[in-house]
Chain A
Amino acid sequence: MKSIPEIQQEIVEEFEMFDDWMQRYEYMIELGKSLPLIDEKYKTEEYIIKGCQSKVWVHADLNEDKIEFTADSDAIITKGIIAILIRSFSGQPPQEILDADTSFIDKIGLKEHLSPTRANGLVSMIKQIKLYAVAYKAKAENN
């Protein structure tokens, strides 16, 4: 199992192959289209992330001390961003997720999506992923 920094480094290297924004976005759109489907029952108000111009649903399950994330969005570029986040964080232990930094987003040329004025809610998505990690960590410690 690769660690989060290793996976993020892989993603950075993949994006370095592209010469311009257009190719990067085309790749993100491809990633978005290939994002595994979230169970329809999680596409409800309860799992929606507020603060996005597009709708984003994120669900998390604990599987043998590791968190499995699934997610979806009605906008394709947002789905691409989700796909990158899921690849980076899904299947990792809660503590690793909490410790992970997210500067790789900057390195793959998506810095503009980190600005608080961006309505795609990348910041909210990362926050939600970290919140799930906090919750599952607390749950594990209580058991």
Chain B
Amino acid sequence: MASVDSSLTLDVEQIRNDFPILKRKVNDKPLVYFDNAATSQTPQQVIDVIVDYYSRYNANIHRGVHALSQEATDAYEQARIKIQKHFNIPNAYQTLFTAGTTHGINIVASGFASILEAGDEVIVSALEHHSNIVPWQMLCEKTGAMLKVIPMLDNGTLDMQAFDALLSDKTKLVFVNHVSNALGTVNPIEEIIKKTHAVGGAVLVDGAQAAPHIKADVQALDVDFYVVSAHKMCGPTGVGMLYGKEKWLEKLPPYQGGGEMIDQVTFEKTTYAGLPHKFEAGTPNICGGIAFGAALDYMNAIGFERIAAYEHELLEYATAKLKSIEGLRIYGESSKKTAVVSFNIEGVHPYDMGTILDKLGIAVRTGHHCAQPIMDFYKIPGTVRASFAFYNTKEEIDSLVAGVERARNMLI
């Protein structure tokens, strides 16, 4: 009998009890939630924190001298420290609260508008989400910098030889996701960061899809910027984190004007507040920030190694089972993947597949996943994407496989 490393096993049944939504039915069928790459579900422990905030100490922060305001400020700043520690960020003031990944990317892109010059080059990868393409296109239009693209290979990985050829002393910025949202490919960001630094450029890594599966250490990575969203990792929507190296955060101008981000205001001149407040204008998503901290506590209590090991097991199980279905093709077959299976069945439109699966209570994502360049590469209208989390089970994957077969029989 093969020995099982008990430190890596995970009590899924107990974990599922933490997620009230997993008990509901959809179209009279038990919900099978496989759209985790779009948003993860929320455990009771995080829901309780949200309810507690609004029931007991809802107040604006950093301003009031009254007790509620101080309690809320303390909880918000403690959450910042939890996030800081989680990503091994050197200082709390380099841990900026944002409205989410897209917001974080836009803070950096708009900041670089005052740094880039015509002739500079910005490199993005072909595996990017639209949110990580559009801001750079706008930035390049504004500054006259050139946008270059690292092409992808048929197995869904980046063409690293082509990347080497794109790098030069003109390269000022490289933007790449840690994990592709459409395919689940884990990109070689360590290599990209090292090589970009060697030519004097900076790297922003979009960690939205990686954060629920991989605990990133921003210092070990030596990355210049790292952005995530709370709602992909058991937290609420509308809140995220931007990490930046201190030299960059000092250099970049504020993104928005407003309260919190100022030091002194007269009609002649305003001086900006120090970090992190320079980038946190206005009343933030206080409850969201606190709940983000609680979500990290929840996931860390289970342990990211355990989560990754279990999700990998789900990925291998689903890949093998789905591949046995006639005419099914999986897109993205990198040896390094998170628990995402993007697929199509020959002769079946992904939209039709998604519609039938929904009727069976199975939630998957269909379409281009906001990554149209990848779909253009494969010359397909989109894919069906099943993305797994640590609270999913092999039995649920069996339901998916049965559902796909049933839909296939109906549609062909």
What residues of chain A have their CB less than 8 Å away from a CB belonging to chain B?
21-22, 25-26, 29, 53-55, 74-78, 119-120
Contacts and interface: CB of A to CB of B under 8 A. Distances in A.
A77 B359 contact: no
A77 B355 contact: yes
Interface centre among B27, B350, B355 (most CB of A within 10 A): B355
Given A21-B27, A55-B381, A119-B367, A75 B351 contact: yes
Contact of B366 (A22, A53, A76): A53
A54 B382 CA distance: 9
A120 B351 contact: yes
Interface of B: 27, 349-352, 355-356, 359, 366-367, 381-382, 410-411
Contacts, number: 42
Contacts of B411: 29, 76
Contacts of A78: 349, 351-352
B351 A21 contact: no
A74 B411 CA distance: 12
Contact of B381 (A26, A29, A54, A77): A54
B352 A77 contact: yes
A22 B349 CA distance: 18
Given A21-B359, A25-B359, A53-B366, A119 B410 contact: no
Given A29-B411, A53-B382, A76 B349 contact: yes
B379 to A, nearest CB: 13
Interface core residue of B27, B382, B410 (most chain A CB under 10 Å): B410
A77 B27 contact: no
A21 B28 CA distance: 11
A22 B411 CA distance: 12
Contacts of A22: 359, 410
The 4 nearest A-B residue pairs measured at CB:
A75-B349, A75-B351, A54-B351, A53-B351
B352 A53 contact: no
A120 B410 CA distance: 18
B229 to A, nearest CB: 20
